[in-house]
Structure 1
Amino acid sequence: MDIPKLPLGRGVEWLENWLTTYFGPVFKFILNVISGMVEGIETILTVPPTLVLIVIIAALAYWIGKWRMALFAVIGLLLIDNLGLWNPSMQSLALVLTASILAVIIGVPIGILCAQSNGVKNTVTPILDFMQTMPAFVYLLPAVSFFSLGVVPGVIASIIFAIPPTIRLTNLGIRQVSSELVEAADAFGSTPTQKLIKLQLPIAMPTIMAGVNQTIMLSLSMVVISSMIGAQGVGALVYRAVSQAKTGAGFEAGIAIVIIAILLDRLTQNALKPKKR
């Protein structure tokens, strides 16, 4: 007995068309906001002279971490500039920072709600499982339909792909706060807002930052995939090298992505560690 195929694909396409028809102005507003953020961050990264920006990043790396991190920042960024990949690297970094900032802005409040309500947690968890297991290429299709080609659908796909760690670890960090401390805060008459801001978030911050770190790394992993729908940057150079079988050019672009990834990873890992001087 043949069972009729469920029209799941047609249902998804109908929903996509319905959203495009009735929520077009909303998508246009989101398009303008995200494109403005990307352009603003890219301007900040590309307008200053290269050496000035390298010195600023190295100083930030020294302040957050140690002199070894600052030395790596100088050598790595000078290598990127020497390979002629400075502007593409800053374009990719602007995409990653935009996606990461928006993912944190959206993800941390959702994680707080999950920590405060088991009902919200049980509802959100299957959605996060779906977002993490669905192939990243699938996110590009609706993103292109709603926002056309370019950097914006790449940012949207990166947010969807990268936001789960922030939500999960924010929820985990707050739930791991000692119940004795929470009871003490209640005994002193703390409001839920005071308890969250002054007790739970500070204690949970290392765990939350671990989620932010993973979100940034996942956003960076979407750089090459986003280039397939028109996002510029180092990812586009990697994609072009693969399509043209240019191993050397692909390796150079890959090295630039690795340097950026290591810098972002170390900076976020050491952001909240106590500085020893």
Structure 2
Amino acid sequence: MNLDSFQFSPGTYLAPAVDWLNANLHPLFALITSVVEAVLSGIEATLLSLPSYMLIAVVMPLAFFLVTIRAAILAGLALGFCLLMGLWDASMQTIALVTVAVAISVLVAFPLGILASRIKAVEAAIRPVLDIMQTVPPWVYLIPAVMIFSLGRVPAIIATIVYGIPPMLRLTTLAFNQVPKDMLELGQAIGASPRSILFKIEIPAAKPTLLVGLNQCILLSLAMVVLAGLVGAGGLGAEVTRGLTRMEMGLGLRAGLAIVAVALLLDRLSRGALQRDRTRATG
């Protein structure tokens, strides 16, 4: 008996589905591409509209007033490093891509996490899906995205969003499950509306865990930057890819360190801003 005849190939069933999507939903995909490109281009144009030194001079005082003096110094060092490495434009492109990807990931994961914390059937249903999403190698997400949206920034950001949703969704569900029941009962006892309980009791109590989820989402999105360079997304990922294909160790190392600088910048600013907000709220 030939066992080869019993082999199962998912591509045999998925390829016709992708062809059907491209044939019947092309206007929708074109609209998504236009919107994503417009948003990314707008953010990039805003970041690149000012000279590099001027943008650093704007970011540092903002980080000082919104976070701490340490965050301001770190912001100056991270952005200055990207400038000195000659990767300013690529760094701004990466910051724009990660910003959009994280924002969309949070907008999708946050309400789903709240829903899962309230309805256990929903949590049980999405748990195996999240397990699969976090087990599948991240570059696999690029395959269907490229087949639907072709090469460029759009499939890269779609794959980044899909990769960033699971940690934020899991930790959002965990955060709301950990809110003390006596606090919820107290809110209900004083006649607070569900909206007031959510915004004034649950979210403040869940903020530390939500902060962890946001940081994980940011770091995992940045982890996709290098892979995104393989499909023409530009930014620092393209520089790493260029260094790899040309065997230029210097270029690849500079781009890799710039990615680390951007990761530290986004992580510390988001963490510091939310922790400072929490301190003010409890102080």
TM range (shorter): over 0.9
- Listed one character per residue, the Cα deviations across residues 110-129 of structure 1 (whole Å, up to 9, x for unaligned) are 11111111011111111111
- How high is the TM-score relative to the length of structure 2? 0.92
Post-superposition offset of 1:77: 1.6
Asked whether the 8 Å contact 2:71–2:272 carries over to 1, the reply is: no
Post-superposition offset of 1:7: 4.4
Residue matched to 1:202: 204
- Listed one character per residue, the Cα deviations across residues 150-192 of structure 1 (whole Å, up to 9, x for unaligned) are 1110000000111111111111111111111111222223333
Q: 1:61 aligns with which of 60, 63, 75?
A: 63
Residue matched to 1:126: 128
Question: Structure 1 residue 233 and structure 2 residue 214: aligned?
Answer: no
Residue matched to 2:118: 116
Q: How far, CA to CA, are the matches of 2:9 and 2:269 in structure 1? A: 47
Question: Structure 1 residue 219 and structure 2 residue 221: aligned?
Answer: yes
> How many pairs were matched up?
276
- Listed one character per residue, the Cα deviations across residues 74-102 of structure 1 (whole Å, up to 9, x for unaligned) are 23322321222101110111111110111
Residue matched to 2:184: 182
Post-superposition offset of 1:72: 2.5
Q: How far, CA to CA, are the matches of 1:159 and 1:114 in structure 2? A: 19
Q: How far, CA to CA, are the matches of 1:234 and 1:24 in structure 2? A: 30
Mapping of residues 133-152 of structure 1, within 5 Å: 133-152=135-154
Q: How far, CA to CA, are the matches of 1:230 and 1:7 in structure 2? A: 28
Residue matched to 1:155: 157
Post-superposition offset of 1:34: 1.2
Residue matched to 2:261: 259
Q: Give the aligned CA root-mean-square deviation in angstroms.
A: 1.6
Q: 1:87 aligns with which of 80, 86, 89?
A: 89
Q: How far, CA to CA, are the matches of 1:15 and 1:253 in structure 2? A: 38
Partner amino acid, structure 2, of 1:173: A
**Over 3 Å off, 4+ runs:** none
- How high is the TM-score relative to the length of structure 1? 0.94
Residue matched to 1:104: 106
Q: How far, CA to CA, are the matches of 1:254 and 1:216 in structure 2? A: 16
Q: 1:170 aligns with which of 165, 169, 172?
A: 172
DSSP-derived class of the 2:274 partner? coil
Q: How far, CA to CA, are the matches of 2:274 and 2:99 in structure 1? A: 19
Partner amino acid, structure 2, of 1:183: E
Residue matched to 1:42: 44
Question: Structure 1 residue 18 and structure 2 residue 48: aligned?
Answer: no
Structure with the larger helix share: 2
Structure 2 residue ranges without an equivalent (≥5)? none
Identity %: 40
Partner amino acid, structure 2, of 1:213: N
Q: How far, CA to CA, are the matches of 2:72 and 2:7 in structure 1? A: 59
Partner amino acid, structure 1, of 2:52: T
